[in-house]
Structure 1
């Protein structure tokens, strides 16, 4: 049996117009079992949820969380993004608690889109780095462990919505 891993990921969902009652949203998320999420309601029409969940397979863990979230939210809500997928060096630096400049000095995979990097490609590159960057990876492994699954789920969501 495979070992369980702690996965860290964010889910961003758009809400249909007129369905942004924060109390209703928070109660509904709690009722479906998302009481472990950090919920962000700062951007009008969007809900962001940060999760840390344990499981064997990141795609299964994240997909289940997405299903829970969509079941709680009003009809017409749509998955916008699962993170981490495309990330900036600043995002990675914040996770590792190092400076962006520390990453700029190292060999990184090529950017994918608009200066953003695929988080799934970052971990192998960072594991090859000496010093503080590599030493900081343990604290961010759950985030990197979610990256490939986030990428797949985002691709499927994009295809379904097009």
Structure 2
């Protein structure tokens, strides 16, 4: 069993409801391993450190537990998935300049950003995987596993918003 650290952000679909009404129910409903954020009405964020054999099991049971307590909640994002240089540096325990040197000014095999601008954004899983595979950084496998799961969840969430009549055509275009 490993500990998996991840954050799930939910839209409560009822903007006038104070999310603090769900805190005790979430704790009693299986989310006692989460730090619950209720800073904005209509939204709730749960930062889990959940023990499980695999990241998929940790994250899927966490989502199921939260949705059992708040059935109308809709997952907005599994985080952190989208990462800038500062985010990656914080996770890796090094400086932003070091990450910039590795990724931005490094070799051409470095992962491409999903948004190139100021700041550029990458999928954290792609950065971690590249650093371990290409640069031989000692990245913990559970960190990469949970990062890939977060990326997959967010990609599926985005895919669901795509016009159904275009899904197959777009899938063929990007294959």
TM over 0.5: yes
- Specify the structure having the higher radius of gyration (Cα): 2
Shift of 1:21: 4.2
Q: Is the CA contact (8 Å cut-off) linking 2:129 and 2:144 kept in structure 1?
A: no
- Partner residue in 2 for 1:18: 16
Q: What TM-score do the two structures reach when normalised by structure 2?
A: 0.75
Q: Secondary structure at the match of 1:105?
A: helix
Match among 84, 109, 127 for residue 80 of structure 2 = 84
CA distance 1:44–1:88, shift in 2 (3 Å):
farther
- Can you give the 5+ residue segments of structure 2 that lack an aligned partner in the other structure? 163-175
- Can you give the 5+ residue segments of structure 1 that lack an aligned partner in the other structure? none
Match among 66, 69, 82 for residue 69 of structure 1 = 66
Shift of 1:124: 2.6
Q: Secondary structure at the match of 1:80?
A: strand
Question: Is 1:32–2:29 an aligned residue pair?
Answer: yes
Match among 83, 91, 114 for residue 112 of structure 1 = 114
Shift of 1:37: 0.4
What is the aligned residue count?
A: 151
Match among 90, 99, 115 for residue 95 of structure 2 = 99
Higher relative contact order, structure no. (Cα contacts within 8 Å, ≥ 6 residues apart):
1
Shift of 1:9: 0.9
State how 1:146-157 maps to structure 2 within 5 Å: 146-157=146-157
For 1:21 and 1:55, how far apart are their aligned partners in 2?
27
Match among 34, 44, 47 for residue 44 of structure 2 = 47
Q: What TM-score do the two structures reach when normalised by structure 1?
A: 0.80
Give runs of ≥4 in structure 1 deviating > 6 Å. none
Q: Is the CA contact (8 Å cut-off) linking 2:19 and 2:38 kept in structure 1?
A: no
1:43-96 deviation line (CA, Å, top 9, x unaligned): 3322111111222221222011011112222x4321100113221121111112
